[in-house]
Amino acid sequence: MEQKKVALVTGASRGIGRAVAARLAHAGYAVGVNYHERRDKADELVAALTASGCKAIAVQADVSVRAEVDAMVRRVEEAFGPVTLLVSNAGVAGQALFQDVTDELWERYFAVNLNGARHCIQAVLPHMLHEKAGCIVTVSSIWGQHGASCEVTYSCTKHALIGLTRSLAMELAPSGIRVNCVAPGVINTDMVQVLGSETLHDLAGQTPLGRLGTPEDIAAAVAFLASDDASFITGQVLTADGGFIG
């Protein structure tokens, strides 16, 4: 009997996560739309998906808190069944000179961006291991491959996510579970809008394809890695950056 397609997308109320959740829902997944604070945005997305005939629920959790993650996964399982696809997308970002990075900032970035992925993976993994099937997609960044001035903390967390992805893929491959990563370039979301229009214009100019990426560009990459078309792909980082880092 074929498993139900159930996806959990973290950080899905806005930006990349929102586009990923919508893409997967329209591809036939029942989707848990995780949010931390923006319940209004998560509910708005769920309402739109439900109105179009898709299955989705909003689930609140701070992914840095294991108990909240465990409760979130139980909520999705109660609604739709075990999670067969995890998209670990929730993250925080910002700019600061390294000498100004406080303990609080450093620890928060690692708590959300790296520990959050760990918590979510460990929460969904038991059923995947039991079934010897499942798919995990992490969301890193080109700054996790290349590094970025004034974003040392963020880059460190995203480098670590790539290490987690590649190592976990090797560990889980004998169990039939695939683990891959998408590394977005400069994507036109609220997170990068804070850089200002002049900087964004410059970044678009530095991108060989001549534009910023869209959340839908990244959603397409995630959907591919989650699909049967990628059934022989694991432990890989798919860079979607318009050629930015070459």
pTM for the model stands at: 0.96
Whether residue 1 is predicted with pLDDT greater than 60 in this model: the reply is: no
Whether residue 137 is predicted with pLDDT greater than 70 in this model: the reply is: yes
**What DSSP designation does 187 have?**
B
Instruction: Please list the active-site residues.
Output: 154
Hey, what are 73's tokens? 């996964």
Sheet with 85-88: strands ordered across: 55-60, 30-35, 6-9, 85-88, 134-139, 177-184, 237-240
Choose the weakest-confidence range: 48-62, 64-78, 198-212, 226-240: 198-212
The domain defined by 6-236 folds into Rossmann fold (3.40.50)
Could you write out the three-class secondary structure of 207-218? CCCCCCECHHHH
Q: How far, in Å, are 18, 79, 109, 172, 194 from residue 189 at the CA level?
A: 11, 30, 19, 33, 9
pLDDT in tens, 174-232: 999 999 999 999 999 887 787 788 888 998 999 999 999 999 999 999 999 999 999 99
Whether residue 84 is predicted with pLDDT greater than 70 in this model: the reply is: yes
pLDDT of residue 199: 87
